[in-house]
Amino acid sequence: MTGTHAVGILATGSYTPERVLTNADLEKMVETTDEWIVSRTGIRERRISAPEQASSDLAYEAAKKALAKAKIAPEDLDMIIVATVTPDYSFPSTACLLQSRLGAAKAAALDVSAACTGFLYGITTAAQFIANGMYRYVLVVGVETLSKIINYEDRNTCVLFGDGAGAAVIGRVKEGYGFKAFDLGADGSGGELLLQPAGGSRKPATQETIDQKLHFVQMSGSEVFKFAVRVMNSATEKVLDKAGLPKEEIDLLVPHQANYRIIDAAVKRFGLSDDKVVINLDRYGNMSSASIPVALDEAFEEGRIKEGDNIILVGFGGGLTWGATLLKWSTEQA
């Protein structure tokens, strides 16, 4: 990590809605089977937000937990970054809504839209502000309520996605620890492979766009799959190379939770054992920008992360986007 200060993750927090939507439930809603879903994705169930729950509500719950674990008051935050493609509104930003609810009066606030890679874009951005000394504490939240924009008549997408929020407090850590390398990328030529066609300035809401179900997620699954396998590997290799770390020294890989087969391909490429990979997609499905921070928080709570561990976070998403970071774990503030 270049800059004046070493930067790392001081604490994490997560929240998932109470309602569970199982594969058996989906069998009653659309033409699919539990066996078909599990064999192709590894997903068995996912969480669904209540009708009255918006993304800022989930973000608030995850943020509270992260701040409490970091022993940092909301008023001490310098910035809030919320990564989401399902904001409460087009504007104001979900980050501003969260800032108000937390009472983080001095914090700047903005949203990041990088789909499933959003959390990685967020922590990379936060780290620069802290490394150069401009800010001390930044809260980054990945949150999605994808169930609000899923067509439950489309079996290719409705089986994949779920709702949740994961948060991280980013701050200074002792020298030699924290973020060691970042890699972010995008290929906008693949933008139409995964998108919400209507609701923006290209196709504002009309009766026609609603009738055509253009406000729901559309995805070219096979193309996204091929892209994901390729960039998961290349982004991981890049941060290892930048940090000068051999793959044998990876202690934990926290990948985006989209599809078990994508993760398995990366695991085999890097020769990792099961205990070095975090997988929770069987319980949550693909929560987009929330997937990585929720998985990271669960791994920490389960005692799978210890001081000095070399951890890689890697993801990919709509845009198309991808990203990875390597950090030497320490929650001890500098």
Catalytic positions, written as ranges: 116, 256, 286
Using DSSP's 3-state secondary structure scheme, residue 142 falls into: strand
C-alpha 76/C-alpha 58 separation (Å) is 21
Verify cis geometry, omega within 30 degrees of 0, for the bond prior to 92.
yes
What is the maximum alpha-carbon separation in the chain? 57
Residues facing 142 on adjacent strands: 83, 166
- Residue ranges of E strands in the chain: 7-15, 19-22, 45-48, 79-83, 108-112, 138-145, 163-172, 178-186, 194-195, 218-219, 252-255, 310-317, 321-328
Copy the structure tokens of residue 185. 């990328």
Q: What is the phi/psi pair of residue 203, to 5°?
A: -135, 85
- Distance (Å) of CA 61 to CA 65, 222, 324: 7, 35, 26
C-alpha 160/C-alpha 6 separation (Å) is 37
b/e burial code for range 164-202 (CB count within 10 A of at least 16 → b) = bbbbbbbbbbeeebbbbbbbbbbeeebeebbbbbbbeee
Place of tokens 């892209």: 227
Cβ-count burial of 31 within 10 angstroms (0-12 exposed, 13-18 middle, 19+ buried)?
exposed
Could you give the angle at the alpha carbon of 209 between the alpha carbons of 208 and 213, nearest 5°? 115
Q: What is the phi/psi pair of residue 25, to 5°?
A: -65, -40
